[in-house]
Structure 1
Amino acid sequence: MSESAASTTKKRPEFYNIDGASLISYRWPLASIASGMHRVSGAILFFLMPFIIWMFDNSISSEISFLKFKAAFNEGMLGLPGFIWKLVALGIIWASLHHFIAGMRHLWMDTHHEHVTKDFGRQTAAVVLVLTLTLTLVLGAKLFGLY
């Protein structure tokens, strides 16, 4: 390449590693937010699995265990009010919804990678976030007795 051609070519962007302090001010792309939240929701589901199993077991074992289960969410248990347990359940609802919907997005993108573009990734990430938050709000309203 001649010197004149080299001087007229567009300069390539420089990439650098960001440190921990820059994470807050860094402008995260929407697709990376959805992907990161997919990982977080998976971790939440993994670590709260004993609570999820307890909820399932007490809700279907017997009428007495179901009443204990209901009381935990109404009056509370282990020194915590029922409101806190409902918030934990709402977190599990969000994590389940987000992990499922974002997982379906990832599976589709993995199997149809020839059709995936940057714009498509941004659009599907927005759909995942809006759909997850909308469904969480609807189910949260039901959990807290608003309808």
Structure 2
Amino acid sequence: MSEAVRGAPKKERREFRNIHVLELSNYRLPLAGVVSILHRISGFLMFALLPVVLYLLQLSIQSEISFAYFQGIASHWFAKLVILALVWAYMQHFCAGVRHLIMDTHVGLDKDSARKSAATVLVISLIVTALVALKLFGVF
């Protein structure tokens, strides 16, 4: 028996991959995958903009003069876009985090409910961000 095992020539095993480099543009990521990637992007965005948030917080609580200076900075259109990006990042990260916590309790793990919860995360985060944008840019 040992001769049969030792004497048998080894076959070259083929390597199977799901995605080839050339086919990446044709690959359609599921909605749950998009939410997962956006969860990571929003976490990085909040981390990267943390010095800006801390600087604005320092300006707002230092004195009345610095608060007036903060209001001047915050009224600029670019600062409003940065604040809006932070609001989107926070809402996306928060909603996706709640979704992951619910999925950790083994609720909603099947494909259909995972797709619905991913769509819910996107809709809620975009609606809240749009409402904050309307308030931030003075619509109401």
Say whether the fold is shared (TM-score over 0.5): yes
Q: CA deviation at 1:15?
A: 5.6
Q: CA deviation at 1:126?
A: 0.3
Preserved contact between residue 84 and residue 129 of structure 2 (Cα < 8 Å): yes
Q: CA deviation at 1:26?
A: 1.8
Q: What RMSD, in angstroms, separates the aligned Cα atoms of the two structures?
A: 1.7
What CA distance in whole angstroms lies between the structure 1 residues aligned with 2:48 and 2:100?
22
1:105 aligns with 2:99: yes
Q: CA deviation at 1:114?
A: 5.7
1:137 aligns with 2:130: yes
Aligned position for 2:18? 16
Going from structure 1 to structure 2, the CA distance change for 1:55 and 1:18 (only over 3 Å counts) comes to farther
- Paired residues for 1:1-147 under 5 Å: 16-19=18-21, 22-74=23-75, 82-110=76-104, 112-113=105-106, 115-147=108-140
Q: C-alpha deviations, 1:15-34, integer Å up to 9, x for none?
A: 61242x54443211110011
Deviating above 4 A after TM superposition, structure 1's stretches of 4 or more consecutive aligned residues are none
Size of the aligned set, in residue pairs, is 125
Aligned position for 2:9? none
Going from structure 1 to structure 2, the CA distance change for 1:18 and 1:60 (only over 3 Å counts) comes to farther
What CA distance in whole angstroms lies between the structure 2 residues aligned with 1:69 and 1:22?
49
What is the TM-score when the length of structure 1 is the normalising length?
A: 0.78
Query: Which structure has the bigger radius of gyration?
Result: 2
SS of alignment partner, residue 121 of structure 2: helix
Q: C-alpha deviations, 1:103-132, integer Å up to 9, x for none?
A: 11111101x226521111100000000000
2:70 counterpart letter in structure 1: F
Q: CA deviation at 1:136?
A: 0.1
5+ residue gaps, structure 2, are 1-15
Between 1:113-122 and 1:96-105, the stretch displaced more is 113-122
What is the TM-score when the length of structure 2 is the normalising length?
A: 0.82
Q: What is the aligned-residue identity percentage?
A: 42
